[in-house]
Structure 1
Amino acid sequence: MKLLRRGGSDEFDKKDSSMPEATPEQDVSESVRKSTAGKGRPTPSRREAEGRRRGPVAPAPMTAKEARARRKAARKSKSKDERKAESAERRATASERRNRMLAGEEKFLLPRDRGPVRAYVRDLVDSRRNLVGLFMPLALVLIMTMFLGPVIQQYVTLAMFVMMLLMVIEGIYLGRLVNKKARARFPDSTDGGFGLGWYAFVRASQIRKLRAPLPRVKPGEAV
């Protein structure tokens, strides 16, 4: 039985009958195109999705011995070239951190050296010529001379006693000096007292070239 159609429907039937039917391969490609239209990428298969899942995370080591065992096992699992590359990278990173610390960058300083007050105290100490800075080289010379004879040992012992007394006097003076100037420069700071004075004394007792961070001012320069 032929249904009644509007005018021009016969031509449409002819055109429709002349078009080839879609093959199964075309249907699959069309479905893939529709699925990727919204995401911009094909939907991963089940095998791919399962391959992306991470395995269970190992618990943190409970003891230092266990941590060392894990590091040793990790090193054994790597080749010799990989271990050399990692070692070179660690040395380069440590060297860079040390250079920045010696330059005085706040981020790389030790906790005891951080803050504007400690930086100001370091500049105060570095701008002075401190007697306590000669303690280490003089102590080595005096210890070496103690083996020359009993008479010389008496003089050496006396000289070391006098030098230690002078160090104590200068340390007390230096501690009071840096506390006074630090309070005047930073009145709202809580960093002061014995801890700040001891920090200045320890830095002053070190050889100038071995101080860390490195001195930013020259001896005699105004701070």
Structure 2
Amino acid sequence: MSFWRNIAGLAVRRPDAGDCADCPATRPGEDPAFSTAVTALGAKLAKADGRASVGEFDAFAQVFQPDAASERNIHRLYDLARQTTRGYESYARRLAKRYAGCPTLLEDVLDGLFHIAAADGAVTQDELDYLERVSELFGFSPLVFRRLKAVHLGLGDDDPYGVLAVPHDAPDEVVRSTWKAALSEAHPDRARARGLPSEFIEVAEAKAAAINAAFDSIMRERKALALEGVA
């Protein structure tokens, strides 16, 4: 992941640049404020679950892949940042403001943070809360975060989006058209028309019921989120 290696290298050269409130909006790889903020966000994940340990730097380095010549300085910066989670919201807001016009880049940052959180083989609820808050500060909707979580950690067994096989941030019309197509394909009448045994019809009925339940669940959730946004 050369992206992370490059920003880590910039961060150790200008560790205080993130305090600049009016840095130019240059390319991320040339923006020390960007690299410092992302490095701090990654390091503070070590404290998110309340168990910051020296060994966690190894997992951090697997994602950032620092050059050998820079590793000592990166380790120092990491140790300073991981002492507390305080301040991470400020870094997230700074990145969101600086790169508001480039949501793809902010999503890349979240992807990197998910990699760091999962590097030890487990992502705790505290780490998920941290990542969700960063996503919120980046301006992403709950559905976008849910999609990213599914990409990195897999779909939950009861995730209705998995039943319909649509992205979590798919537009309503895409969800609706996918639901109709899936329901038409799985409708029990198709099994009856083909003269299939009753066992096949029972399976089709269960599948159709699951498809309808998934669609209803998605639309209820979206309606609730829309109402929360208005409130």
Q: Structure 1-normalised TM-score?
A: 0.23
Larger Rg: 1
Greater relative contact order: 1 or 2 (C-alpha under 8 angstroms, separation 6 or more)?
1
